[in-house]
């Protein structure tokens, strides 16, 4: 039932994208993509809900989301240099893929109440959400190998930048323009580099301490989701 629900939602998303593209013939392609990105979060939310988390697990996740939001706000004056990605990765590794996605997507939404909510928000939600989900999938390897952890952090910096560059194209065009996208990717390389470097720096500074603290929290409250050995 859980799988059928997620498959149904994904099919609806694909159908909306195809029908919207055909009906509007590219005139509102950007709005269709934005809606598709927003709807893409639903299967992950259902996955977390279907896992039937205990109240204490929800409280711990809410605390992680709050810390992530605060960390982004604290570094408001340093554009692109923020610990959000590192926090989301750590959450995914310790608490599992579903919690990692929830932390990433909800942190993007809530922190945008400070930074400004707009059509770019779904792109941030899906980007940080997938980053957290991926961290949960590869948690054992990332937890044991620091080089893989830093490498994953760097790749996430590049991936996040490229997803947001997609939004930048749609902000200027009514349809996706590959030439403009590649141009934006090239011109945003300095920003992308900041993403990559900041992710590695914050992961270096936070990972050891946060892993220790969060592992103690898991043991204390008997949280088994995302168990790493």
177-186, pLDDT tens digit by residue?
A: 788 899 999 9
- Using alpha carbons, select from 64, 83, 88, 63 the residue that is nearest to residue 73: 83
Assess if residue 48 is contained within a domain: no
How is 62-117 classified by DSSP, letter by letter? Answer: HHHHHHHHHHHHHTTTSTT--SHHHHHHHHHHHH-HHHHHHHHHHHHHHHHHHH--
Q: pLDDT tens across 112-139, in order?
A: 989 988 888 888 988 999 999 999 999 9
Assess if residue 23 is contained within a domain: no
Assess if residue 32 is contained within a domain: no
Per the structure, the complete domain to which residue 116 belongs is given by 53-221
* Contact by Cβ (8 Å): 184, 149: no
State how far the Cα of 145 lies from the Cα of 153, in Å rounded to an integer. Answer: 12
Based on the structure, what is the number of domains in the chain? 1
Which of 7-16, 33-42, 168-177 reaches the highest mean pLDDT? Answer: 168-177
Assess if residue 191 is contained within a domain: yes
Q: What is the CATH number of the domain that holds 197?
A: 1.10.1760.20
Per-residue pLDDT band at 1 (split at 50, 70, 90) = very low
Residue 16 confidence (pLDDT): 54
Q: pLDDT tens across 72-96, in order?
A: 999 999 988 999 999 999 999 999 9
Assess if residue 37 is contained within a domain: no
Strand, coil or helix: what is 34? Answer: helix
Assess if residue 5 is contained within a domain: no
């Amino acid at each position: 039932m859980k799988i059928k629900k997620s498959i149904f939602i994904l099919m609806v998303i694909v159908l909306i994208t195809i029908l919207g593209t055909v009906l509007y013939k590219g005139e509102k392609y950007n709005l269709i993509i934005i809606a598709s990105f927003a709807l893409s979060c639903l299967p992950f939310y259902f996955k977390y809900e279907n896992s039937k988390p205990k109240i204490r697990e929800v409280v711990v996740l809410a605390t992680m989301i709050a810390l992530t939001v605060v960390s982004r706000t604290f570094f408001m004056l340093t554009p692109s240099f923020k610990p959000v990605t590192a926090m989301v990765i750590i959450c995914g590794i310790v608490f599992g893929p579903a919690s990692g996605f929830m932390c990433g997507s909800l942190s993007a939404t809530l922190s945008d109440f400070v930074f400004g909510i707009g059509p770019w928000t779904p792109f941030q939600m899906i980007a940080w959400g997938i980053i957290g989900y991926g961290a949960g999938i590869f948690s054992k390897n990332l937890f044991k190998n620091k080089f893989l952890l830093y490498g994953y952090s760097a790749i996430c910096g590049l991936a996040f930048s490229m997803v947001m560059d997609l939004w930048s194209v749609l902000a200027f065009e009514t349809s996706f323009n590959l030439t403009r996208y590649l141009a934006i990717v090239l011109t945003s390389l300095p920003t992308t580099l900041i993403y990559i470097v900041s992710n590695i720096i914050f992961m270096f500074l936070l990972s050891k301490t946060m892993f220790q603290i969060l592992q103690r929290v898991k043991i204390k409250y008997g949280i088994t989701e995302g168990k790493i050995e």
